[in-house]
A and B are shown apart, each in its own frame.
Chain A
Amino acid sequence: GAVVSQHPSWVICKSGTSVKIECRSLDFQATTMFWYRQFPKQSLMLMATSNEGSKATYEQGVEKDKFLINHASLTLSTLTVTSAHPEDSSFYICSALNLAGKYFGPGTRLTVL
């Protein structure tokens, strides 16, 4: 099946720093990618839809100035968590869409101290 990668797979940072997470579709082009957040024992929550060449569409309650999304190419979307705080600690997962379906990256575990 299609492959989506994320980098880094886990990151620990100090409160107040910014963290960038990359999502790449390795063997297909994705005009649309999605960013999710998952807290322990909860389902995925869509944060935003990343569209190549245009602004991301954010879900209600998600601060666009805190979670910066850049979809610079058909194979790469980045999520930057700015001025991270401990409550931002979570599992961040991206997915990319092709005709066959939606494929997920392996996720990035962010821990903010």
Chain B
Amino acid sequence: RKEVEQDPGPFNVPEGATVAFNCTYSNSASQSFFWYRQDCRKEPKLLMSVYSSGNEDGRFTAQLNRASQYISLLIRDSKLSDSATYLCVVYGQNFVFGPGTRLSVLP
């Protein structure tokens, strides 16, 4: 089993839709969790950290379930500019990246 797994995607959604990404991790000792966004041929950029109580930043909501070793990212009212690959990142002894889920928001 891979250390970090994500929905394989791609997700093609219309503008304004709500979309959710799931991520599971295998190392129960993992301490920190992040969502990164990567545009094509660009470096990943930190989107948001994921806190135990869940956190929201504008249209983005991140949730963490330690018991199930599961992280989610919800994007509401999706925009064309949200089209990118979303990477789940888990930090235990090192930063481990998930394979990413590609999102395409269609007009």
Interface residues of A (CB under 8 A from B): 1, 34, 42-44, 46, 49, 91, 93, 101-107
Residue of A nearest to B98 (CB): A43
Query: Do B46 and A105 touch (CB < 8 A)?
Result: no
Which has the most chain A C-beta neighbours within 10 Å: B43, B94, B95? B43
Query: Do B41 and A91 touch (CB < 8 A)?
Result: yes
Q: Which of A42, A44, A46, A49 contacts B44 (CB 8 A)?
A: A44
> Which residues from chain A contact B100 at a C-beta distance below 8 Å?
43
**A43-B98, A44-B97 known; A107 vs B46 contact (CB < 8 Å):** no
Residue of B nearest to A105 (CB): B43
A1 to B45, CA, bound (A): 10
A95 to B45, CA, bound (A): 10
Query: Do A107 and B99 touch (CB < 8 A)?
Result: no
Q: Which of B45, B96, B98 contacts A104 (CB 8 A)?
A: B45
A42 to B38, CA, bound (A): 12
Interface string of B61-103 (1 = CB under 8 A from A): 0000000000000000000000000010100001111111000
Query: Do B87 and A43 touch (CB < 8 A)?
Result: yes
Which has the most chain B C-beta neighbours within 10 Å: A1, A91, A104, A105? A104
B18 to chain A, nearest CB (A): 25
**A44-B97, A91-B41, A101-B34 known; A1 vs B46 contact (CB < 8 Å):** yes
